[in-house]
A and B are shown apart, each in its own frame.
Chain A
Amino acid sequence: MAELKLPELAEGVNEAVVSFWHFKEGDTVKEGDEVVEMATDKAAFNVPSKTAGTLKKIAANEGDTVKVGSVLAVIE
């Protein structure tokens, strides 16, 4: 099981908003697939999966503000 956590998107930016998920729960993702788009005040960033597996759980909804280091999804 791997948790996909929100990485630091730009220096000193400690939170970001979930724009949208490119996958839904139950979908199969490959390593490197861009799973979710996050937006900071400055730009939008696609966050890739570090592992291959099934997207078991989406832990942040579209529109939610998420802190850096928080779990976005669980992939196993």
Chain B
Amino acid sequence: MKPLSRFPSWLRRSVRFNKEIIETKTLLFEKNINTVCQSARCPNIHDCFSRKKCTFLILGNYCTRSCRFCAIETEKKLSPPDTKELFDIRDAVRDLGVRSVVITSVTRDDLEDGGAGHFADCIKILREAEILQPGVYPERSRRGLQDDQMGETTESSQSGHLNIEVLVPDFLGRKSSIERVVFARPDVFAHNIETVPRLYKEVRPQADYKRSLDVIRHAKGFSAEIVTKSGLMAGLGEDVDEVYGVMRDLKRAGCDIITIGQYLKPDTGCLDVKEFLHPSKFEQFSEWAKEIGFKKYNCSPFTRSSYLE
């Protein structure tokens, strides 16, 4: 008899052996760049790094919060933001040859602006590189590159424009911080709601459901043109009706794009997975997202905020 895996059949990833993965890892290592792909031990890393895709993690590799779904270590005293980190990312984006980039960060409640200025600088530095050196981001027509980021429009991928998506923390709800990031004109402004309100205390003890909704609401209110995006994890003990409620709340807050994926326990100290949701439940979420009227949506077990299946 075949012994049972501890994971259901739909939660399989394939390991790849190719030079692109090695090149991606080497480049990140040499420049000492943090990625959430590595910090979160993401199982999609083989696929993404094979395509030279990664999600950059700025403001260091330690977090002032201690969310129970996340493997990133908590520290109360952290180093100030380092501009070198941003120039290294700019160079990495050039060297990887990607047409779209996702920038996220740890949460920095120790900083007066929560790190919003660093996000704005990052966008500016990437945009300047684009303007001053038109050849820096050459046309690419590699398969998959144009569709794998939902905020990316067809026009932008064809015009040589670098698509910049930022996935920001809640900045403790500071409106000035949200505005600072939106004002820097990323292509997509994302903030993840992560879970249903009932589970916030257990999953995100230092966060607040309404505050997170208000991040999206304020970004959209500040600039109607900004594309807003949010994501949540399934499998933490929520029921599907609660997920529906969150989807409705996000839509009302002005969220354009939604992603829902299976929560997977990244480290021994993190919350256990309560349920491995069958793919049919994710299909149900997609149906609801369509009904509710999200412009784009992606719901599947391995969907992540910056990984769409």
Residues in A lying within 8 Å of B, measured CB to CB: 7, 9-13, 17, 19-20, 34, 37, 39-48, 50, 62-63
Contacts and interface: CB of A to CB of B under 8 A. Distances in A.
25 contacts: A9-B15, A11-B42, A12-B38, A12-B41, A13-B41, A17-B6, A39-B7, A40-B41, A41-B267, A42-B41, A42-B43, A42-B265, A43-B12, A43-B13, A43-B43, A44-B5, A44-B7, A45-B12, A45-B14, A46-B15, A47-B15, A48-B14, A50-B17, A62-B3, A63-B3
The 5 closest A-B pairs by CB, nearest first: A11-B38, A43-B43, A10-B41, A19-B5, A44-B7
A9 to B, nearest CB: 7
Nearest to A48: B15
B3 A42 contact: no
Chain B contact residues: helix, strand, loop or mixed? loop
A20 B41 contact: no
Chain A contact residues: helix, strand, loop or mixed? loop
B13 A44 contact: yes
Interface of B: 2-3, 5-7, 11-17, 37-39, 41-43, 45-46, 264-268
B12 A44 contact: yes
Contacts of A41: 265-268
A17 B4 CA distance: 12
A48 B37 CA distance: 22
Nearest to B14: A46
A17 B2 CA distance: 15
Contacts of B3: 19-20, 62-63
A67 to B, nearest CB: 16
A41 B40 CA distance: 12
B12 A11 contact: no
Given A19-B6, A63-B3, A42 B264 contact: yes
B41 to A, nearest CB: 4
A43 B261 CA distance: 13
B17 A45 contact: no
Contacts of A34: 14
Contacts of B16: 48
Contacts of A42: 41, 43, 264-266
Given A9-B15, A39-B5, 20 more contacts: A7-B17, A10-B41, A10-B43, A11-B39, A11-B41, A17-B6, A20-B2, A41-B266, A42-B41, A42-B264, A42-B266, A43-B43, A44-B6, A44-B13, A45-B12, A45-B13, A45-B43, A46-B12, A48-B14, A63-B3
